[in-house]
Structure 1
Amino acid sequence: MRFMMIVKATTDSEAGKLPSQELIEAMHKYNEELVKAGVMLAGDGLMPSSSGIRISYPEPGGKPKVVDGPFTEAKEMIAGYTLIEVKSREEAIEWALRMPDPHGFGQGEIELRQVYESEDLTSDAEFLSKEAELRKQLMEKQRS
């Protein structure tokens, strides 16, 4: 089971305020624990929405709309993520609870969301085979 721990943005992260050295070190230690446990797949912090681009599809079949950031409502923005693979929802919660306050100052908020697996979306054997081959190619590319 894969889960994404989504770190919500704050007014500080949206303003481009970088985390303290203490928080950077705490997050590094936490990431090391995830890697040693063999559950971390990916994780990064994101730049503020002022450097972001939003693409929306206002009409079915219509042309996409491109809008440059910044975007409003910092509480709805994402400041970072960690992707993990664990055996259960409970294990995912345990790992999320161990993450240091991602912004310090008591402002941190983490949203934990399960990632769809191909088998959740379809039972079409041909599609699942093609998807498995793509994932295999991706893993090989990441190793090289």
Structure 2
Amino acid sequence: MTKYLISFPSGALVLPPEELQVVADAAHAVVEEAKAAGVWVFGGGIDESVPPVLVDGDGAVTEGTYPQTTQLEGGYTVLEVPTREAALDWAARFAAACRCAQEVRAFAYDPAS
């Protein structure tokens, strides 16, 4: 089975404040479905109040990030499913719950892990 990253950037979630809890409850319901189906691996959102840092091989810490990832934020889910079609089905469930499109990416298989 392949692990898939299903995600959306923070800016895609545009809701009136009074609808945030409804959307959160809907998304959590999909999470519970994924757990019950045995496909849930991990999920969460980037804490945008904590600035990113780069850690070098010698342990040196530098504030900031790689230039191409300056906008890494939002919500992330990792599921392990048997097919890409199954990943797309789960992404559609999350998209409906969150009221925004979801990006789907497959993790490369690593036989050593």
TM-score (norm 1): 0.59
Question: Match of 1:52, SS?
Answer: coil
Deviation at 1:2, TM superposition (A): 0.6
Deviation at 1:43, TM superposition (A): 0.5
Cα distance in 2, alignment partners of residues 86 and 115 from structure 1 = 11
Q: RMSD across aligned C-alpha pairs, in angstroms?
A: 3.3
Contact 2:27 2:97 survives alignment (8 Å): no
- For 1:62-81, list aligned pairs within 5 A: 66-68=62-64, 76-81=71-76
Amino acid at match of 1:30: V
Q: Which runs of 5+ in 2 are unaligned?
A: none
CA gap of 1:31–1:11, structure 2 versus 1, over 3 A, is: closer
Contact 1:54 1:67 survives alignment (8 Å): yes
> Whose radius of gyration is greater, 1 or 2?
1
Q: Which runs of 4+ in 1 moved over 4 A?
A: 61-65
Identity of counterpart residues, as a percentage? Answer: 24
Residue aligning to 2:4:
3
Deviation at 1:68, TM superposition (A): 4.5
CA gap of 1:12–1:96, structure 2 versus 1, over 3 A, is: closer
CA gap of 1:47–1:109, structure 2 versus 1, over 3 A, is: farther
- Whose relative contact order is higher, 1 or 2, with alpha carbons under 8 Å and at least 6 apart? 2
Residue aligning to 1:24:
24
2:90 to 70, 95, 111: 95
What CA deviation, in whole Å up to 9, does each residue of 1:35-94 have, x standing for no partner?
A: 11111111012222x42213277xxx899662258x9x98x4321211000001111011
Contact 2:5 2:77 survives alignment (8 Å): yes
Cα distance in 2, alignment partners of residues 12 and 31 from structure 1 = 17
- For 1:106-125, list aligned pairs within 5 A: 108-119=100-111
Contact 1:51 1:68 survives alignment (8 Å): no
How many residue pairs get aligned? The number is: 106
Question: Match of 1:118, SS?
Answer: coil
